[in-house]
Amino acid sequence: MTVDKWKERLPRRRADGKSPHFGFAPAQRAALRAFAATDRQSLQRHEPAEFARRQIRVLNCNACHGELDGFAKLDLIGLKLRPEWMQLLLAGYIKPRPRPWLPHRMPAFPARAKPLAQGLAQAHGYAPRTVPEPAAVNAKLAEVGRQLVGVDGGFSCIACHGVKNREPLQVFEAQGINFAQVGARLQPEFFLRWMLDPLRVDPQTRMPTYFDKDARSVLVDVLEGDAKKQIEAIRQYLLLGNKMKIPVMQ
């Protein structure tokens, strides 16, 4: 576009030389008049998902996320993590860090942690606060979950996942996040989807798939070999967080 063409687009002075003339069509003028008659609150409306998108650009989060190996992409992160947990992470409060094996550290953004975390969740239709669990942790089911993640008669998940102060048994494989931290992190729907087929969620992951296409488990004697029931038992166990008992690790 030439300079002259740009000039044509600038507001022209009206004949009286005071107010600029924008060249609005009649319909645009009518819309402006209608807007001027409102309380103009819509100009200040806070749109959380848009806020989060903007902040990710402004703060250059993608310099790490989506670029470096082993880093979560942020476009789907609101489907995975609970907003309360993201808020604590963004504020710099999560200790120890979930992935101590990564050479980089997540910087803290305390002033923006809350609206950013809520915006990331709301971008996927989640409420700014996680819906509370319908009931307290089911202790019997959690005990089944503990057996399922352990070695003897379980899936040996603890080969890769630490539990509280216990290191995973085979860190050299592909380390997962310590189980004591997982319950507070994950949205329940994500947990189910991940457990049924981790590769569908993350084609690069080295976490094995434990259940077949018909949601059946090889451990046929536990909860009727029903994958979803076994996954829920593991979830109940993980919800115990730091109160969880150590599973059988040898």
Nearer to ligand HEC by Cβ, of 131 and 171: the residue is: 171
Q: What is the rounded distance in angstroms from the CA atom of residue 10 to the CA atom of residue 228? A: 63
Type and span of the H or E element at 144: helix 139-149
Nearer to ligand HEC by Cβ, of 15 and 203: the residue is: 203
**What contacts 172, CB < 8 A, 6 or more positions away?**
none
What separation, in Å, do the N-terminal and C-terminal C-alpha atoms of the chain show? 72
CB-count burial class (<10 Å; 0-12, 13-18, 19+) for 38: exposed
Nearest approach in angstroms of CB 40 to ligand HEC is 30
Nearest approach in angstroms of CB 100 to ligand HEC is 7
Helices (H) and strands (E) in the chain, counts: 11, 2
Nearest approach in angstroms of CB 44 to ligand HEC is 23
Q: What is the rounded distance in angstroms from the CA atom of residue 153 to the CA atom of residue 157? A: 11
Nearer to ligand HEC by Cβ, of 74 and 240: the residue is: 74
Nearest approach in angstroms of CB 36 to ligand HEC is 37
Interface positions with ligand HEC (CB under 6 A): 55-56, 59, 61, 63-65, 72, 74, 77, 81, 86, 89, 97-99, 102, 104-107, 109, 116, 149, 155, 157, 159-161, 173-174, 176-177, 182, 185-186, 191, 194, 205-208, 210, 234
Nearer to ligand HEC by Cβ, of 140 and 206: the residue is: 206
Chain length of the chain:
250
Nearest approach in angstroms of CB 113 to ligand HEC is 9
